[in-house]
Amino acid sequence: MIMKNKINLYSHFVIAVAVCLFSSCVKQDVIPTNKFTDETYWTSEDKANSVVNMAYRQMFSSDYLMANEILSDNVYNGYGTTNEKIIATGLADASNGRFESEWGGCYGGIKTCHTFLANIDRVTSMSEALRAQRKAEIRFIRASLYLELTTWYGDVPHFTTDVTLAESKVLKRKPQAEIMQWIHQELDEVAAALPSREEYPAADNGRITRGAAVALNTRAYLYENNWTKVAEYADKLINSTAYGTYGLFENYEQLFWVKNEYNSEIILSLQYVPDLRTWGNLVDHVPMSANARLCIAGPTQGLVDSYLMKSGKKWTTADPDYANRDPRMGSTIVYDGSMWTDRSGNQYPIVINPAGTSPAGKISDKYTGAGNAQTPTGYYYRKYCDPTPTSYTGISWDSNLNLPLIRFADVLLMYAEAKNELGEMNSQVWDQTIRKLRVRAGFDNTPEALDLPSSNQNDLRNVIRNERRCELALEGLRVFDIRRWKTAETVLTQAGRGAKFDNSSGSYDYIKLPAGTFSRNRDYLWAVPRKELLLNSNLTQNPGY
């Protein structure tokens, strides 16, 4: 991993070159570069740590975090045609670029992990304690990559040591249930070997912790709908400090600002470094007046409608469009009339209504119709938009903000969902979970907003699912929820809506967004990439592709 205080590692130019070479090896049939397998490489702790850093970078990416929202009902891709839009419209085949990059990227990361585990014992200068810790970090990354693979593709090739070129061409797919069993055991062992967040020195902020292993295992059980285990593992983080002490950060919007990125709510995050390693996806999601390049995708009206009123009651068309809403909405989504703070500290209103007047000297943010550079939905992103100038490289949107992968809020939501599915939701569990999230968000102090609303399991299921959508919006998780709930076949095939800015009929109506296509018999699993099938005849294809 590349922590913000570990940028000296970049001075090892030769190592950086080796890392770049190895990062291109994303297919199973590529032999690892000699730079990592030669005995002369494994001579120092710094060189070993460079391979660990490489594995951290391969664990996940900002591209996937942002693009995964397009695969859900939270965001609509209106400008251009991304791989994810092709998937969402049901037109993807086994040659789709996302299917290929996800498969190849995961196996490339797994190869890095196997190379490290096969060679780390050669570094005699490293202490046994540090060696054991680094092995545990690598095993966590490997488990996370296998979880990603089996979640998207179901049965996949699974191996725990590196494979030769010949072996890679005869691998078979292992049943998903067996892979998940291995993931659970692996994460249990990793949790026993890793330090807690408090046991790391400040210089190691951001490294994988004991709590992260428990949290990822909780998520893995969630994806299996194993409610007993979800409750058991979430409980370890909520009602115990043995795996680290976690809590909600006090300010929802500023939770996603650089100055707060190592707060007690963050269990696992993608690490970025000023100038040297940044991510730039926001340039295609923020308001045009904030120097965006264009708006490739915008939040949907369906997401906006899911936010309650501050009083706790559901929003209706009789209520104001945006006033007195759950404050998380304004911290996540830019809507017409939102105030924007630029990096000089100046505030100005965002005007999206086509009939409005744009602020003087600003590029227009107004909705102009389908296929144009402005928002396709009448909304822009606010989440992750830290107004602090030092959070970016120069005047660009290249951000060095660490992107959260698992937050304590997610653990609370998983716990609440599991307890309800087990028939064990009560006021105590509610107060530990949903009430805490709403208090932090800034709901009114009223029974309707903060108290357990029902004893009916079905009613509570809808409440908890909606709470999850609002709390975790634009964090790349919604797609996995609607797939495990088996609601994707419903919510993704309904025509979507944007804000009430469509004047094509002579009066303003909601922007009409086309329905997606989702087949219950095909699309809950992705296609095994065609190029992998050509390389290995033992691989089989998922139904429908």
Rg of the chain over Cα atoms, rounded to whole angstroms, equals 23
Contact indicator for 38, 265 with CB cutoff of 8 Å: no
Residue 543, token pair as written in the block: 């139904």
Residue ranges of the chain with per-residue pLDDT less than 50 = 1-2, 5-33
Q: In angstroms, what CA-CA distances link 282 with 270, 271, 291, 292, 464?
A: 16, 16, 10, 8, 29
Beta-bridge mates of residue 374: none
DSSP-derived secondary structure letter, 333: E
Cα–Cα distance for residue pair 281/283, rounded to 1 Å? 5
pLDDT of residue 40: 83
pLDDT of residue 37: 62
What residue spans of 202-323 are helical by DSSP H? 210-223, 227-238, 301-306
For residue 411, give the H/E element and its range.
helix 408-421
Cα–Cα distance for residue pair 214/190, rounded to 1 Å? 9
Q: DSSP string covering 470-514, please? A: HHTTTSS-HHHHHHHTT-HHHHTSS-EE--S-B-TTSS-BPPEE-
Residue 164, token pair as written in the block: 């030769």
pLDDT of residue 3: 52
> Is 370 buried (19+), middle (13-18) or exposed (0-12) by CB count in 10 A?
middle
Cα–Cα distance for residue pair 513/516, rounded to 1 Å? 9
What are the phi and psi torsion angles at 217 (to 5°)?
-65, -40
Contact indicator for 298, 243 with CB cutoff of 8 Å: no
Q: DSSP string covering 8-21, please? A: GGGG-HHHHHHHHH
Cα–Cα distance for residue pair 21/13, rounded to 1 Å? 12
Q: Which fold has domain 7-193+526-535?
A: 1.25.40
Dihedral sign computed on CA atoms, order 369, 472, 82, 488: negative
Nearest CA among 333, 330, 308 for reference residue 463: 308
pLDDT of residue 68: 98
What are the phi and psi torsion angles at 325 (to 5°)?
-95, 165
Cα–Cα distance for residue pair 109/145, rounded to 1 Å? 7
For residue 403, give the H/E element and its range.
strand 403-407
Nearest-10 Cα torsion for 305, 306, 312, 313: 50
Domain locations along the chain: 7-193+526-535
pLDDT of residue 36: 62
Contact indicator for 405, 270 with CB cutoff of 8 Å: yes
